[in-house]
Amino acid sequence: MDKKVEHRPEDAPGAKNLVKPYSGYEKNHVPAHDPLLTETDADTPMGEYMRRFWHPICMSEELTDTPHYLVFLGEELVAFRDKSGEVGVLHAHCCHRGASLEYGMIQEKGIMCSYHGWVYDVDGTCLEVPAPTGEEEEAEKFRKSVCQGAYKAFERHGLVFAYMGPAEEAPPFPEWESDFSVHPDDELVPFSNFQHCNWLQVQDNAADQYHHIPLHTTAVVPGHEQGTTFGEAGAAPYLVRPDLQFFPVHNGTGMAWTSSRRVDDEKIFIRVNHQALPNLSFHSYLFEDGTEKKHFSRLHMIRWTVSVDDTNSKMIGWRVVGKNIDPREVGTKHLIGYETIDFLEGQVAMRRPERATYGQGEKPPIPKDHRDRDCYKDAQYAPGDYEVIITQRPIAVHALERPMKADGGVYLFRKLLREAVNGGNKDAAPEAIREWLKSVNATPNSYCSGHVLEVPAAETLEDEVKRRRDVARAVIDVLHDSDELKGAERTKMVTARLEEIEKTVR
Ligand code: FES
Ligand SMILES: [Fe+2]
């Protein structure tokens, strides 16, 4: 029997939920991945959707005295900062005869291809075509007839952002919470962490909050605990399994989810995270110990999951570091950056002891194969997010998944993505999101917030579960009702409403 026969994912034998001991044989077919959500090359539905948004493509520190070659959404690109300070993101292959501009020479204005000396401005305009003596006029005419492929780009807080759709359709850059709600005592610290797998499974992990205890608080082999966040930070509430609820927000262009945990008999901790289409996530305070009452703590990490190509991606964004968001100063600024993040070991391919052998500003090579790393055994002793995400296969196969209730956030966000890409939600169409951004002066509010509330424990387990869920839902209502307000005005309203809720429950 020919086992290589092609199946549609839902027909594949492996996709059937056969409950039978020793059923390996019946399950040895791997169905196809979901191309609609996972593939992002040009001309794919998700690729076209992604191209209508601004994305961080690399860190500012990756733009040096030589051009930076990178792949993004399957396209080969070269990014550089010219000597006048302008950032260019151009197609890598020179439009003359295809040499890569990564070997080009950065100019006062633009970049010169090293093969025949054509010079391109950051917008792709050809500035110079060297001509043999006597043919200058002809060369000048020719120069005006060519143009290198280029994308709009700018730098912000140590990241390089690009827009890769039709230039005339570019939306305003969304300044969520007006510069990401950073308090004057705090700062946005950039990072970029490579992931050797499809973008969506990395994004999925943002809403997968049930993995915290098994993955992050338990070593596979005792004595090899990863530390940080849950242990050293004394973030005791994370040791309790959260009660999770998921809510579509902003007309189905985003999802807020609550994780609600009891801190002690008097207090509960409700964490609200927010994901915005297509690939942005806002994470509230990671090191909460629940000791101080808090009505409205804000963003602690802003992260885009960007697609390099269909089997590689990056988590790239900012950690918010400072005394306002993190009064106990648990965050570690020097551990946030290129191929490193401070809150957990196991977020990137290379582990800290190996990475520490590289000097400040030096870029460690990103290992190509996770089984061929010096830290492979350590990673087996105490795996992290990197290990479990990238080994869901290069592109995770949704047809093989057996989701339970706690996976609801993963599935809700995929549903929002699917509706956005196939036209099922008109509010999620790129032009609708562009108009919405304009209507809020490109400073939309986020639901992302942390709350330690005085809510006493209920008498019975049943009532306690109901109470945690009711209060979490009430928090979402308050965030929804305050969505028109900004800054201090919003904080005031949220605080007043949550104080009312505390009184009511008591
Ligand atoms: S290939 Fe670039 S100038 Fe000729
Ligand atoms: Fe995790």
* Domain layout of the chain by residue ranges: 1-31, 59-155, 177-505
The residue count of the chain comes to 506
CATH number at 177-505: 3.90.380.10
Q: Which of 105, 111, 118 maximizes ligand 1 atoms within 8 Å of its Cβ, making it the mutation to test the pocket?
A: 118
User: How far does residue 386's CA lie from ligand 2's centre (Å)?
Assistant: 9
Judged by phi (left if over 0) then psi (alpha if -120 to 50, else beta), residue 78 lies in: beta
Report strand pairing: 150-156 vs 159-163: antiparallel
Q: Which-ligand-closest: CA of 346?
A: 2
- In single-letter form, the type of residue at position 183 comes to H
Q: Are 433 and 253 in contact (CB under 8 A)?
A: yes
Q: Which-ligand-closest: CA of 210?
A: 2
Residue nearest to atom 1 of ligand 1 (CA): 97
Q: How far is CA 75 from CA 70, 90, 199, 257, 402, in A?
A: 8, 10, 15, 33, 34
Q: Which CATH superfamily is domain 59-155 in?
A: Rieske [2Fe-2S] iron-sulphur domain (2.102.10.10)
Q: Which residues in 86-100 are b (16+ Cβ under 10 Å) and which e?
A: bbbbbbbbbbeeebb
What 8-state DSSP symbol labels residue 147? B
**Number of helical (H) and strand (E) elements in the chain, helices listed first:** 13, 19
Q: Are 352 and 339 in contact (CB under 8 A)?
A: no
For tokens 């006048």, what's the residue?
84
Residues 6+ apart with CB under 8 A from 422: 36, 45
User: How far does residue 169's CA lie from ligand 1's centre (Å)?
Assistant: 30
User: How far does residue 148's CA lie from ligand 1's centre (Å)?
Assistant: 11
What's residue 259's pLDDT?
A: 94
User: How far does residue 202's CA lie from ligand 2's centre (Å)?
Assistant: 10
User: How far does residue 116's CA lie from ligand 1's centre (Å)?
Assistant: 5
User: How far does residue 211's CA lie from ligand 2's centre (Å)?
Assistant: 6
**Residues at Cβ < 5 Å from ligand 2 ion:** 385
Q: Which-ligand-closest: CA of 95?
A: 1
Residue nearest to atom 3 of ligand 1 (CA): 116
3-state secondary structure of 351: coil
Determine the Cα–Cα distance for residues 299 and 273; give it in Å rounded to an integer.
9
What's residue 223's pLDDT?
A: 76
Per-residue pLDDT of the chain (506 residues; tens, 9 = 90+): 444 444 455 666 566 788 999 999 988 989 999 999 999 999 999 999 999 999 999 999 999 999 999 999 999 999 999 999 999 999 999 999 999 999 999 999 999 999 999 999 999 999 999 988 899 999 999 999 999 999 999 999 999 999 999 999 999 999 999 888 788 899 999 999 999 999 999 999 999 988 888 888 777 777 777 655 555 555 666 778 889 999 999 999 999 999 999 999 999 999 999 999 999 999 999 889 898 999 999 999 999 999 999 999 999 999 999 999 999 898 999 999 999 999 888 999 998 888 888 877 788 888 889 999 999 999 999 999 999 999 999 999 999 999 999 999 999 999 999 999 999 999 999 999 999 999 999 999 999 999 999 999 999 999 999 999 999 999 999 999 999 999 999 999 999 999 999 999 88
What's residue 3's pLDDT?
A: 47
Q: Give the atom of ligand 1 at the shortest distance from the alpha carbon of 101.
A: 2
Q: Which of 94, 111, 112 maximizes ligand 1 atoms within 8 Å of its Cβ, making it the mutation to test the pocket?
A: 94
Q: Give the atom of ligand 1 at the shortest distance from the alpha carbon of 98.
A: 1
